[in-house]
């Protein structure tokens, strides 16, 4: 029930952001059609701990609506503490990605809010155990962005990742479902 309420809130928030007035005029490069590439650093709940992921997003934006592809991969360093790959445990490899749609609502010339949703697949395996598993993932989220210069900006986002169909070793859907937050480095051209 808790996951359902979280999903309902995330979908409501994303739809609410996308329903904002798009008739406002944009200044600078914001309203123009352009390609973008974002580098992503993410901290996420993962397998009863947390994990660090690196990723990239690329796509095309027009009239504040963006469509593209995104991919994330677990950084498998053993950091100790609550990090997912603890000392003495088999090393988990995890990655996911898919198609992403987003809507950007301009708050000012430099600040904007973005509602987004990613639908795709994930893959997990253990280094020593062997075998692997593919499963469905969807991740709604929201971000606040700051445009530093015409072609570069920073973003901070939060979202919830839903995994379905996980059937590998001691892992389940709950192992890969959870909250995440990220810092984005946004490049537009």
Q: Has residue 79 been placed in a domain?
A: yes
Burial 98-108 (b: 16+ CB within 10 A, else e): bebbbbbbbee
What are the average pLDDT values for consecutive 10-residue runs of the chain, which has 189 residues? 53 46 41 89 91 95 95 78 71 94 96 97 91 96 96 97 93 94 95
- pLDDT for 2 equals 56
CB 145 within 8 A of CB 93: no
Query: For position 183, what pLDDT does the model report?
Result: 97
pLDDT at 60: 97
* pLDDT of 127: 85
Residue 140 lies in a domain: yes
Distance CA 119, CA 29 (A): 28
Count of domains for the chain: 1
Q: How far apart are alpha carbons 5 and 1 in whole angstroms? A: 6
Helix locations, 19-102, DSSP H: none
Q: For residue 26, tell me if it sits in a domain.
A: no
Q: Would you say residue 77 lies in a domain?
A: yes
Residue 25: inside a domain, yes or no?
no
99-103 LR contacts (CB < 8 Å, sep 24+): 99/67, 99/68, 99/69, 100/57, 100/59, 100/66, 100/67, 100/68, 100/69, 100/70, 101/65, 101/66, 101/67, 102/65, 102/66, 102/67, 103/17, 103/18, 103/20, 103/64, 103/65, 103/66
Count the residues in the chain.
189
Range of the domain at 56: 2-20+34-188
Q: Which residues are 118's β-sheet partners?
A: 100, 139
- Is the residue at 27 inside a domain? no
Q: How far apart are CA 100 and CA 65, in angstroms?
A: 11
Instruction: Output the pTM of the full model.
Output: 0.79
Gap between the Cα atoms of 158 and 166, Å rounded: 23
Residue 172 lies in a domain: yes
Per-residue pLDDT at 78: 56
- Among the listed residues 55, 56, 71, 64, the one whose alpha carbon sits nearest the alpha carbon of residue 34: 64
Residue 28 lies in a domain: no
pLDDT of residue 128: 87
The CATH number of whichever domain residue 149 belongs to comes to: 2.40.160.20
């Amino acid at each position: 029930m808790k996951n359902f309420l979280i999903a309902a809130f995330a979908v409501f928030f994303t739809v609410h952001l996308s329903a904002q007035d798009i008739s406002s005029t944009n200044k600078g490069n914001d309203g123009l059609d352009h390609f973008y590439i974002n580098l992503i650093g993410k901290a996420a709940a993962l397998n009863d701990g947390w994990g660090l992921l690196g990723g990239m997003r690329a796509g095309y934006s027009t009239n504040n609506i963006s469509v593209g592809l995104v991919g994330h991969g677990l950084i498998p360093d053993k950091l100790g503490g609550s990090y997912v790959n603890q000392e003495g445990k088999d090393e988990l490899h995890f990655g996911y990605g898919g198609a992403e749609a987003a809507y950007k609502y301009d708050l000012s010339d430099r600040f904007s809010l973005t509602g987004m949703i990613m639908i795709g697949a994930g893959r997990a395996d253990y280094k020593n155990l062997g075998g692997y598993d593919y499963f469905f993932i969807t991740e709604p989220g929201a971000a606040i962005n700051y445009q530093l210069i015409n072609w570069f900006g920073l973003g901070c986002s939060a979202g919830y990742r839903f995994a379905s169909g996980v059937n590998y070793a001691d892992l389940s859907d709950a192992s890969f479902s959870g909250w995440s937050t990220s810092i984005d480095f946004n490049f537009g051209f």
